[in-house]
Amino acid sequence: MLKRAEVLKEEVRSIISRSITLSLHQRLHLIETIERLCLDYLFEEEISIALAEAGTADVSDCDLQTVALWFYLLRKHGYRVSSDVFLRFKDQEGRLLAHTPIDLLNLYNAASRRTDGDIILKEAALFARKCLETSLPYMEQSLAREIKCALEIPLPRRVSIYESKDQVLRYENEDIVDEAVIQLAKLNSNIMQLHYQRELQTITRWWKDLSQLPFARDRIMECFLWILGVYFEPCYSRGRIISTMMLAIIALLDDIYDSYGTAEDCELFTKCMERYALAFLGKYSYYKFICVCLYFHLQKIKEYH
């Protein structure tokens, strides 16, 4: 599986490199597709080069869909591009010239990257939302689902790893993406699942040793999924494990205060933590202090129970 993944990575890397011969819209769509499929961490350098070239492109003759996608991707990656590129899509009465659902969806996504001074994008967001909500019942199923998701939660606020499998099905059914990209997305998803399973094995073993308390809720999977939404890349494996453990301990403390300890117990517990803070923060990092204190106190609670 790993060998096949390496072969596909080279194929997709070649596709990105050759995209310079394609139109601006095709290049941008390729980058967006790779990011929506959670493959962008494999091609950071290639995407960075492609976006740098796109940033210098002249979009004065491009259609609204291309301009909106160009604006969204460049703003997403930290480029300072002006929202004035949308001014030419206004008619003499100040109304935006966007009619097709794809144009409206891309315009709405671009408007989600607006700042306080982007008045035209604020107007565009309201206009696009109203038009999309009106025409939503008459759209085909796949496009309607994408628009409904965008209206519920703007694209920058959505968690890509949770949507990657749906995006694979979408691009596969629409047949608008190179087959190598689709196959790599499927294979990479399976590889990442193996990473996550190994991480959960480590976390679960730790949690079973710690959670010998009947009043504590078992929320270890929930905590892991929270952190997975923050960073899904395999290279952050240790960070996911540590962060999941910290969230689980915080949830355990919440149960101690809410369900187990009396008011007097919780007050003593808090004062004890404060004493440890004064004693340890001068010598250790805050994270190490928290770990030492929590371990000590949880051991005492287990012994008492």
Same domain, 59 and 202: no
Residue 277 lies in a domain: yes
| φ, ψ for residue 163, nearest 5 deg | -105, -5
pLDDT digits (tens, 9 = 90+) for 130-159: 888 888 888 888 888 888 999 998 988 898
Domain span holding position 269: 190-304
Q: What is the CB neighbour count within 10 angstroms for residue 126?
A: 12
Give the pLDDT mean for 160-186. 87
- 230 pLDDT more than 70: yes
Least confident of 73-87, 159-173, 228-242, 263-277: 263-277
154 close to 112: Cβ distance less than 8 angstroms: yes
Same domain, 119 and 159: yes
- 211 pLDDT more than 80: no
Which of the pair, 25 or 279, is modelled with greater confidence? Answer: 25
Residue 199 lies in a domain: yes
Predicted pLDDT of residue 297: 47
Among the candidates 116, 149, 177, a domain finishes at: 177
Same domain, 163 and 198: no
Question: Where residue 27 sits, what CATH number does that domain have?
Answer: 1.50.10.130
Q: What is the band of 170 on the pLDDT scale with cuts at 50, 70, 90?
A: confident
Residue 21 lies in a domain: yes
Residue 207 lies in a domain: yes
- 273 pLDDT more than 60: yes
Q: What is the band of 300 on the pLDDT scale with cuts at 50, 70, 90?
A: very low
Predicted pLDDT of residue 94: 65
Among the candidates 153, 177, 201, a domain finishes at: 177
Q: Look at the chain and report how many structural domains it folds into.
A: 2
Q: What percent of the chain has pLDDT over 90?
A: 31
pLDDT digits (tens, 9 = 90+) for 39-51: 999 999 999 999 9
Residue 185 lies in a domain: no
Same domain, 59 and 173: yes
Same domain, 277 and 227: yes
- 303 pLDDT more than 60: no
For 58, 172, 201, 279, the CA distances from 133, given in Å and listed in that order, are 32, 26, 44, 58
Same domain, 104 and 199: no
- Cα separation, 137 vs 140, in Å, equals 9
Q: What is the band of 27 on the pLDDT scale with cuts at 50, 70, 90?
A: very high
Predicted pLDDT of residue 304: 40
Same domain, 169 and 206: no
Question: Where residue 268 sits, what CATH number does that domain have?
Answer: 1.10.600.10
Q: What is the band of 165 on the pLDDT scale with cuts at 50, 70, 90?
A: confident
Predicted pLDDT of residue 187: 93
For 15, 162, 170, 182, 223, the CA distances from 167, given in Å and listed in that order, are 19, 10, 5, 10, 25
Residue 7 lies in a domain: yes
Residue 222 lies in a domain: yes
Same domain, 20 and 151: yes
CA 273 to chain centre: 35
Same domain, 160 and 224: no
Same domain, 150 and 268: no
Predicted pLDDT of residue 98: 75
Listed as own residue / partner, the contacts of 268-271 with beta carbons closer than 8 Å and 24 or more positions apart are 269/297
Residue 69 lies in a domain: yes
Same domain, 64 and 161: yes
Average pLDDT score, the chain: 83
Same domain, 163 and 195: no
Among the candidates 177, 211, 229, a domain finishes at: 177
| Close Cβ partners of 13 (under 8 Å, ≥ 6 residues apart) | 43, 46
**SS3 state at 92:** coil
pTM recorded for the entire structure: 0.82
